[in-house]
Every structure is written in C-alpha cells, then in structure tokens.
A and B are shown apart, each in its own frame.
Chain A
Amino acid sequence: MSFDLVIAYSPMVLVAATAVTAMLGIAWRREHTVTVAVSVLGLILALIAQVVAWGVIPVGTALLDFDGLALLAGLLILASTLACAILSHRYLEAFQGAREEFYVLLLCAAVGGLALAASRHLAGLFIGLELLSMPLYGMLAYAFNQERSLEAGIKYLILSAAASAFLLFGMALLYAQTGEMQLSLLMASLNEGLGLWGLAGIGLMIVGLGFKLSVVPFHLWTPDVYEGGPGPATTFLATASKVAVFALLLRMMLSAPLAQADWLPALLTVLALASMLVGNLLALTQSNLKRILGYSSIAHFGYLMIVLVVAEGLAAETTGVYLVTYVLSTLAAFGVVILISGNTRGQDAAALYYYRGLFWRRPYLTAVLTVAMLSLAGIPATVGFIGKFYLIALGVEAQRWWLVGGLILGSAIGLYYYLRVTVTLYLVAPGASRRDAPDDWGMRAGGLVVVIVAGLVILLGVYPAPMIGLARILAF
C-alpha cells in the first residue's frame, strides 16, 4: 500500500525535484539550454511515472486522492507543461534578462496543478491552487521591461488574490456549517442541511473557482492577461492551469452531488450560458489573436460546464475527452503564436495583421494554425468535433435543451471569428512582412512540438478510439 502511494506521488516528486535541480543549476552557472534540457528531462520522467502510476490507482492520503480523474488531468498538465518548456526555449533566446528562472516557475506551477487536480481536502485544494497561481504571477510578468506584460502580471496578481480570498472565506463558512474539510464528507453533510452559511460558502467558492476558469461574469481579466503575458506563460495559463481547476470542480460535483439543491444546476446553467454567449460575442470584434483565444477559452469552458450541470452518465467521460481536445487545440494555436513571436524582441506578434498571407510564406505552419482554428470551432476531422459531439450527446441525454441550444448558438457565433482568423492566413500579404517564424522552424524542437500536436488533432479527430478509451478508463 505504502509503495503504491510512493508511485502515485512520484510524478509530483519528480517535477518538484526537477525544479530544485534547475534552481541549484542556475545558482552554479547560467546555461539556458542546459536548464531547458533538465526541465524537459524531468517532465518526461514525470510523464512516464504518471503512466506507471496508472497501475496503482486508486490510492490516496488524507489530502490527495489519486484516482482516474487526477491521473488524466495530471497527464494533460504534464504534457502541456512539457510543450510550454520546449516552446519557451526559442522564445526566450531573444529575451534580454535572466531566462533560466522561467523554467523554475513553470515547474513549480506544474506541481501545484498536479496537487490541485488530485486534492480531496480543502487544505490540499488551497495549497495546490496557490502553488499553481503564485508562479504564474511571475511568469506573466516575466518580460517586466514591457509594459503589457507587467500589467498582465499585476492584474492577475490582484484579481487572483481577491479570488483566493473569496475562496478562503467560502471554505471557512463551509467548515463552520459542517465541521468537515474532506470534500466528500463536506458535500455529504451539506446534503443533510445546507443552512445559510453553507449556501454563502458554496456561492463564494463558485466565485473563487469561477475566476480561475474565467467563467462569465468573472472573466474580465482574461483578454488583457492573455494578450499581455509572454506566449509560453499564457499557454500554460490557458491549458494546464484551467485543466487542474476544472478537474477539481468536477471532483466536487461528482463526489456527492447536491441532490436536493436544484438551485445549483440552475445557477451553473446560467453561468454556462453566459460564458458561451458572452465569450463568443466579445471575440467577434477582436483583432488580436491572443485576445481572441482568450475569449474563445471563456466560451469553451462555458460549453464544458454542461458537464458540471449534468454530473452523471457520460459526464466524466465527456470531461476527459473534452479536456484532451481543448488542450491539444489550444497548444497548437499558441504554439504557432510563440513560434512567430519568438524570433524577435518586443511584444508578441499577436495582431492578426502579422498573420495576413502567412500561407504563402509558411504553408505548413499555416496548416497547423488552420487545423487548430477548425478544431476550436469543432469542424469534423479535427479533434474538436469529437469533444463537441460528446457535449451535445451529454446534453441531449440529460435533456438540457437550453444548454444544447446555447452550445449550438455559441458555436455558430464562434465560427465567425475562427473563420476570420483562418481566412486571414490565406489572403494576400501586405508587402514585406515584419514578423515571421525563423526559416528552420520545422527543424527546431518547438516546431516539432506544434507539428506533432497538430498531427494529433487530426489523427484523434479521424480515429478517436484511443482517446475515448483513455477517457473511459481514467474517468471513473
């Protein structure tokens, strides 16, 4: 039993050890490439350990519970951290300040994500969440000599701290009402009698977690932070951080659904619908790719909240599939942005202007971005379609017609800006291009990563059986 626990903990331990190693390495001598190599190696080992841990689940301690959900979320978090680390290498080459600390922050945040996704206790939850958020402040403000990046970091810091305060207060109220901190016991005890404090506690926790997921109306920070943060930090925020928070929310809903409280699904339905519509509508007029992706992620988590409302039947499996599709598509899209931006100093090349006519200069890179956009829009033959298929199936099965309607309407609106981005890539380029990926992008590790991710988007879109198998095994 105890040895199983060691195996289950080993990915987290490995990533933490890598972070310490990287830090010590920096203290001894600054070598960018070596730091990247150490981080990548550690993350790969952790990924392997995560796969090995598959054999021993479910095991758990008082704070953490390693079940299928934690494992799947862990795989996604580690994979996206790995992608971020590799993409950062080229991106930070042109950076003037200290480059190596970025990886230490990245690894620490990954540990936080792993802990958060596995937590079953309010204390574990808070530790995980803070360990995830604290390094993100630093990562977002990493290019501190640029106003935008600094602004993004500080904005995220202040708002995130406020959200944490909400969360803590909610936890305290829940504890006062029930006297429990174990999530499942807490939810069970709430089922017996909610009470005024319980109600307020749940409300405050929804505010706190909704902020991290950027659910409308707690989404205001998203576009600015997405736009201002350096590419790799934003990528991590959009993928690993959101996956971890969502895994936690799902665990809370699945562990003991609040049976007699039908106001909760109603509230979540309203939040989901608002996110789908507001996210998509606000994206329509944007002309900055990173902002568009920010709004698009608001909409996507609106779609995914259908799972929280239904919380039975296909729900767990849908979460697994949808998170995989979301992470893959987002990684591909951000990967291209990072590759284009990384070659030069200054702000990220995220204005759509830079992408006009990209196809005629970089056909394969454009293909990657096209695939990512179509996948986010949910067109068949990309993995995004499978995710949408699952969500509609779930909504139809549970007969949540409002949510299905919102999903369809949201997708229709969303098409407009996804197509706008896509067609921009193929228009005639406006004279000389000022920002471009380096000529050898395909040979570099970062280029390889985006090509592999795009390949997976297509492959799993055409033949989704392995992904479904994974989601089915793990999401129980």
Chain B
Amino acid sequence: MILVWLIVIPFVGGLLCWQMERLGDRLTRVVALVTMLVELLISLWLWFRLEFQLPSLDGTAARWALEFRVSWIERFGIDFHLALDGLSLVLIALTAFLGVLAVLCSWNEIVRRIGFFHLNLLWILAGVIGVFLAIDLFLFFFFWELMLVPMYFLIALWGHSGSRGKTRIGAATKFFIYTQASGLLMLTSILGLVLAHHASTGEYSFSYQVLLETTLPPALSRWLMLGFFIAFAVKLPVVPLHGWLPDAHAQAPTAGSVDLAGILLKTAAYGMMRFALPLFPEASQAFAPMAMGLGLLGIYYGAVLACSQQNVKRFIAYTSIAHMGFVLIGIYSGSTLALQGVVVLMLAHAFSAAGLFILSGQLYERLHTRELSEMGGLWGRLGSLPGFWLFFIAASLGIPVTANFVGEFMVLFGTFPTAPWVVVIASVGLVLAAIYSLILMQRVHYGPPRSETPLKGLDVREFVMMLSIVLLLIWLGLYPQPLLDTTEAAMGGVQQLFET
C-alpha cells in the first residue's frame, strides 16, 4: 500500500498547492516543499528497512521487495500492479530529492501563477514515480504518457522565449509530439507482444512477469524490440532522435530543466533496463552493436555541438546527450559491472546536470542573460557561485572523487570484455568532455570581466541546495558501495535475462 502512497502524495500535494494559492504564495511553496520532503523521507525509510536479495529466476517471490496488485481492466488482464526493487527504489529516491531541489530553485524564479505551477511540477513527479513503480505494461504506458502533459504546461507557460523565433510553446509542442508519437510506437509494440502471448496461450495479460515467459518468433521479436527502443531512444535521447532536447532545455524554466535532465531522461534508461532488454533478450543482443554505435555517435555529436553553443542551457543540454551515450553503451554491454555503472552514472549525471542547470538559473537571476557572449570574468564577482560551478564542471568531465568518474569507469571497464573497440573510441570521447567542460568554464567565469561591480552572492537557500548536491556527488564518488549493494540484485537479474 505504501507504493500507492508514493504516487498519491505528490498528486494530492499538487492539488493542494493549486488551491493554496489563494492563501498566499509562501504557503503554496511550503506545501510543495513539505510534500516532496515527505516523499523523500518515505523512500529513504524504505531503503533502510527493506532487503534487496538476489532474485531467483524460477521463483517470483523474491524478485520484488514490495508489491501491490489489484485488478483493473479484467477484459484484457490489466492489473494495477506496482512493485519495488533496488533499481526502482534508487530512482524514486532520486526523483524525490530532485523534486525538493526543483521546488527550492523556483522559490524566487517563478512569481506568476504559483499554485498552478506547483500543481504541474508535482504531477510530473507523481507520473515519474508511477513509471518507476509500474510493472504492468499498460500501467507503465499510462504513467509514461501522463507525465508529459504537466511537463508540456511547465515549458509552455513558465518557459522563456528564446531568440530567433524559438518560442517556448514551440519547444513544448516539439517535446510533446516527439515523445507522444514514439510512445504510440511503444504501445503498438506492447499490444503486439500481448497479442502474440494471447495467440499462444489464449489469455490476455499485460503483466511483466507473464510476458517475460513469452517466446516470440525472431522476426516479430525484432520489430517489437525496435518499437520499445525507439520510444526510449527519443526520451534518452539517442542522437538521430534528439531534436527536441536542446530546445526543451533552453526554453524550460529551471525547475523544468532539472526535472527533464535529472529524472525524465532517466525514465528512458530505466525503461531499457527494465523492459526492452529483458522482454526481448535475443533481439536486443543482436541489436547491441547498433545501439553501442549510436551511443558512440551520441558521445561525439553531443561533445562537438556543445562546443559551439552560445546559450548556457543549450550547452548543458548537449553535454547531456554525450553523457547519455555512455549510458546507452553500458546498457547494451550486457555485463553486470557495466549495468551497475550505468546506475551510478545515471545518478551522477542527474546530480551534476541538475546542479549546472540550477547554477545557470541562479546566474540568470543575477545577469538576466543566458548568452555566453555576454558573460565572462565572473569569477570574483559572485561570491561562492563560481566555486560550485567549477566543481560541477569537474564532475561533469568525470574527475576522480566525483560519482561521474565511478560511473564512467565502471561502464567502460564492464564493456571492455565484450566490445573493446567501442571502449577505446568512447574513451577518446572523455577527452572531448574535458575540452567542452573547460570551454564552458572559461567562457563564463574567466577572461576579462565586463564590469567590476560585485553581484549578489548565494543566499542560504541556494548555498544549502548546492552543498547538498556536492556532498552527494562526493559521497558516491568515494564510497558507492551502499548504492551498488542496493541495485546489485536488480542489475544481476537484468544481466541474467539478457544472457540466457
């Protein structure tokens, strides 16, 4: 039942915020903050309380640490089926934490229609948590699409209209159409899978566990796998399908960017690990070289394009594409080590990208610009902000001591036995990461200052936010073992399914 609460709390919190607006802005923000803190506490409490053992492939009992199931649409054997294992718990904790940050970082940024803003913000988080918990394919798709609507509103209503005809509504619509159209492809695949199962057993079922057992003819399996892959590839994003991401990031408000980079991109990696690989192991294995190739393409493409960006947020968006290339390679390498690395890298990227987006939001509040050409020489004018900026830049290029290093190292190390050349080429991408990161740092903070007047430094709220992310990144960089223990069982399970 606690799993249902995890979804219901932000949902109800959002409704409350909407109505609270009449009673004052501050109260609305406090309600949203408290909602997300409660969510975070619940997930941490679950983390300490639950055991995550290795799953046994024959018995279903040990696979999930918590489960909730009620019949929903009997006609097609659809259940309201939620379940929690190590992987989903880690991602839910991440969602809750970034949710807190998203509320905090819009504290001063959003001043209009606060109630409706927080309604959308909290509903995105509710939808994402639903995605991480659902293991009925229909329910998964339900949440997968549901989180798009509030995200659309967030970008379309509180975003920034950029220059040269790039409007926030255009960016939001692009985001929505990309994800919705690819989502319908996934729905087609889900239905293809269910109907194939129906043809062989005579029963409808959307249950993950049941559909894992389905044996498919190889040709069909290949097509269905592609349907899932494309849906996730759009969201991740994988390079030829990434068109929406830079625009969405550039036009979104800070909280939207934090959610987008920190959580929404992770739902795609989660979907690949939870659904695309285990449901279609042979087809995925055959597709792996292709996927890794796309990952490499992403690493180089993201890095090269990042270097030429003029807008801070677009810059960070392109670096995200590069980082997600590593994630894609790790997922399709098929070794437990690399999969574990993917989890660490996902968290690390979520923290570092969220940190950079929040920092650029804070920069915008002070400078009122996102154009790199109007920055420069800010070091010394902003108090401790450039220091944090340097840390996150270092994290994003994968300096040891940060979690990013651990993640990238594990991914490359785990992939080497299966695909050494991919690792060699990807490693060169790390050099590019160093180049673009340092370019960003140089252009924002060094060089001749535009004026000598100091700008407002970080206040307590901003300082605590940034410090907490820094500490998390360092903790995971120095001692990632608790995290690895939690997800080991789940990742081992994925790897077993993938291999057999």
**Residues of chain A at the chain B interface (Cβ within 8 Å):** 359-360, 374, 379-381, 385, 388-389, 392-393, 396-397, 404, 407-409, 411-412, 415-416, 419-420, 423, 426-427, 463-465, 468-469, 472
Contact = CB atoms under 8 A, between A and B. Distances in A.
Nearest to B184: A408
B191 A423 contact: no
Q: What are the 5 tightest A-B residue pairs by CB atom distance, in nearest-first order?
A: A412-B181, A408-B184, A380-B142, A380-B145, A396-B191
Nearest to A395: B188
B146 A380 contact: yes
B156 interface: yes
A400 to B, nearest CB: 11
B184 A412 contact: yes
B75 interface: yes
A423 B149 CA distance: 11
13 contacts: A360-B113, A380-B141, A380-B145, A388-B184, A392-B191, A408-B185, A412-B181, A420-B173, A423-B156, A423-B169, A423-B172, A427-B157, A464-B73
**Most B Cβ at <10 Å: residue of A379, A380, A423, A468:** A380
Given A393-B195, A404-B188, A465-B74, A381 B181 contact: no
B27 interface: no
A426 B153 contact: yes
B152 interface: yes
B145 A379 contact: yes
Given A392-B184, A408-B188, A419 B195 contact: no
Given A404-B188, A415-B181, A468-B73, 14 more contacts: A379-B148, A379-B149, A381-B146, A392-B187, A393-B191, A397-B195, A407-B184, A412-B177, A415-B173, A415-B177, A419-B176, A423-B156, A427-B157, A463-B72
Interface in B176-204: 176-177, 180-181, 184-185, 187-188, 191-192, 195
A411 B191 contact: no
Contacts of A409: 181
A416 B73 CA distance: 30
Contacts of B156: 419, 423, 426
Task: For chain B, give the interface size range.
Answer: 20 to 34
B469 to A, nearest CB: 32
Given A411-B181, A465-B74, A389 B187 contact: yes
Given A380-B145, A392-B191, A416 B173 contact: yes
Interface string B135-173: 000000111011011001100110000000000010011
Contacts of B148: 379
B180 A415 contact: yes
B157 A415 contact: no
A374 B145 CA distance: 11
A329 to B, nearest CB: 15
A240 B299 CA distance: 55
A380 to B, nearest CB: 5
A396 B173 contact: no
Contacts of B141: 380
Contacts of B184: 388, 392, 407-408, 411-412
A465 B78 CA distance: 11
A472 B75 contact: yes
Contacts of B185: 408
A111 B195 CA distance: 40
Contacts of A385: 145
Contact of B157 (A392, A393, A423): A423
Contacts of A392: 184, 187-188, 191
A380 B185 CA distance: 15
A401 B337 CA distance: 40
A392 B184 CA distance: 9
Contacts of A427: 157
Contacts of B142: 380-381
Nearest to A469: B75
Contacts of A469: 75
B191 A415 contact: no
A378 B9 CA distance: 26
A166 to B, nearest CB: 36
A464 B176 CA distance: 25
A252 B97 CA distance: 59
Nearest to B189: A396
A187 to B, nearest CB: 29
A418 to B, nearest CB: 10
Contacts of A420: 169, 173
Contacts of A412: 177, 180-181, 184
Contact of B195 (A388, A396, A468): A396
Nearest to A389: B187
**Most B Cβ at <10 Å: residue of A385, A389, A420, A469:** A389
B102 to A, nearest CB: 20
Given A393-B191, A396-B188, A419 B74 contact: no
A423 B156 CA distance: 7
Interface in B91-139: 113, 116
A100 B185 CA distance: 50
A374 B73 CA distance: 21
Given A397-B195, A465-B75, A472-B75, A416 B188 contact: no
Contact of A411 (B72, B113, B149, B180): B180
A407 B185 CA distance: 10
Contacts of A381: 142, 146
Contacts of A396: 188, 191-192, 195
**Most B Cβ at <10 Å: residue of A360, A423, A463:** A423
A399 to B, nearest CB: 9
B19 to A, nearest CB: 11
Contacts of A411: 180-181, 184
A359 B21 CA distance: 15
A454 to B, nearest CB: 15
A140 B148 CA distance: 39
A217 B470 CA distance: 62
A465 B73 contact: yes
B254 to A, nearest CB: 20
A415 B188 contact: no
A374 B176 CA distance: 12
